[in-house]
């Protein structure tokens, strides 16, 4: 997916839905077995050359944590800064599947808009933005995107885990829902 996005930054809406659903489905499977990926990003999503089917790869961080390796200490962020959830960015020791939902939301945002929601000159500044700034609403960057799809993705990127979809399966289902709940910061508007 990373290679595809480097050549075609904005993907067709149907492809965004399909790829994001397939990744969410894979994450739901992993989460159901107690495994949190912790590094969901385009480079960790492989697309089958013939079918286009998305496969989530590189569970290296998740496997190391499951094995008890000391990859995380309080205050140390583990993952890829452009796609990290706020709780990862602040070095929370315990993250759950909603962290992967956030990261997949960032990937879906990027597929729809052609850019990641935040850019900064260094990793620390980027992590701060994930914790404190709201991304531009998708509709401002991709006016043809269906409102329910935008709402589903934006809710996935809510700052507080409790404001996101409660699971990757719920996010997967919302990607096709035509009446998805709006993101918390959009609900007030």
pLDDT of residue 166: 97
Sign of CA dihedral 81, 76, 40, 154: negative
| Residue 107 near residue 168, CB atoms below 8 Å | no
Is the pLDDT score of 184 beyond 80? no
Who's near 180: CB < 8 A, 6+ residues apart?
148, 149, 151, 152, 155, 174
Sign of CA dihedral 108, 106, 2, 34: negative
* Local confidence band at 181 (pLDDT 50, 70, 90 cut-offs): low
Q: Which is more confidently placed, 73 or 62?
A: 62
Return the active site residues: 39
Strand partners, 54: 47
* pLDDT, average across residues 21-32: 96
Alpha-carbon span 188 to 112, nearest angstrom: 23
* Local confidence band at 61 (pLDDT 50, 70, 90 cut-offs): low
């Amino acid at each position: 997916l990373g290679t595809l996005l480097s050549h075609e930054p904005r993907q067709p809406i149907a492809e965004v839905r399909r790829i994001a659903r397939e990744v969410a489905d894979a994450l739901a499977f992993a989460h159901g077995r107690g495994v949190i990926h912790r590094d969901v990003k385009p480079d960790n999503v492989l697309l089958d050359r013939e079918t286009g089917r998305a496969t989530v790869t590189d569970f290296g961080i998740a496997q190391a944590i499951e094995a008890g390796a000391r990859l995380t200490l309080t205050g140390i962020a583990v993952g890829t800064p452009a796609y990290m959830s706020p709780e990862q960015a602040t070095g929370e020791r315990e993250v759950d599947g909603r962290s992967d939902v956030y990261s997949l939301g960032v990937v879906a945002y990027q597929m729809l808009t052609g850019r990641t929601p935040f850019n900064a000159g260094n990793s620390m500044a980027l992590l701060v933005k994930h914790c404190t700034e709201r991304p531009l609403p998708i509709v401002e960057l991709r006016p043809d995107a269906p409102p329910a799809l935008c709402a589903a993705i934006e809710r996935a990127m809510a700052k507080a885990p409790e404001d996101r979809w409660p699971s990757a399966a719920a996010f997967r289902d919302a990607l096709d829902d035509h009446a998805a709940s709006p993101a918390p910061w959009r609900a007030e508007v």
